[in-house]
Copies of this chain bind each other. A is one copy, B any other.
Amino acid sequence: MNTYVKHLPADERRAVTVEAVVELAGSQNPSEITTAAIAKHMNLTQGALFRHFPTKDAIWQAVMEWVAERLLARIDCAAQGIESPLAAMQAIFMSHVEFVAEHPGVPRMMFGELQRAEQTAPKRIVQTLIQRYGERLHRLIQEGKACGELSAALDTEAAATLFIGTIQGLVMQSLLAGNVERIRHDAPRVFAIYQRGIRSAQ
């Protein structure tokens, strides 16, 4: 149990705020998360939030930076030391799914940011994140083709698109079922089909 303290240093308070938003997004529509709800969830008054963030958008920016940093670190860690490109892709997939299962609000926040018409700072962060994610996938797929694990005729871009879309599909199913745990259960089964679609014929 975390001992409850009222006064926190600014950087810690910002960190707690980000965690509060990520948690809230797991159980409610990200676009409906108000500053009052954030404050309430972390036992703070609404006005106090603006001691640490100039605007609400700055809160979202911090949240998306947190997501980008954690997610990329996690998939890099998962792929580290794995020789086989296909096995590395599987490790990335599973670690990504694990991340999503731990923080089910994350993909919903990301999708919500991408929907925004204006080009905001948090939206740009999400775009950069997915771009970097895509670069890693591209590299692995190329390596997989080179070493013969993946079909030489494979469409690299389409394979990367399908990789990310597969996770998005899992999220959608969990929203439908209202059950986050389902993601962990479905992920290996869905990835098996994806893998069959990209690897070279034996």
Contact = CB atoms under 8 A, between A and B. Distances in A.
Interface of A: 27-32, 108, 111-112, 114-117, 127, 130, 151, 154-155, 157-159, 161-162, 164-170, 172-173, 175-176, 186, 189-190, 192-198, 201
Given A29-B115, A169-B169, A190 B162 contact: yes
Nearest to A130: B176
B115 A193 contact: no
Copies of this subunit: 2
Contact of A161 (B27, B108, B173): B173
A108 B117 contact: no
A158 B193 contact: yes
Given A114-B172, A158-B193, A165-B167, 12 more contacts: A28-B117, A29-B116, A30-B115, A108-B115, A111-B111, A112-B115, A157-B186, A158-B192, A161-B169, A162-B194, A165-B165, A165-B170
B176 A169 contact: no
Contacts of A151: 196
Contacts of A154: 193
A152 B8 CA distance: 59
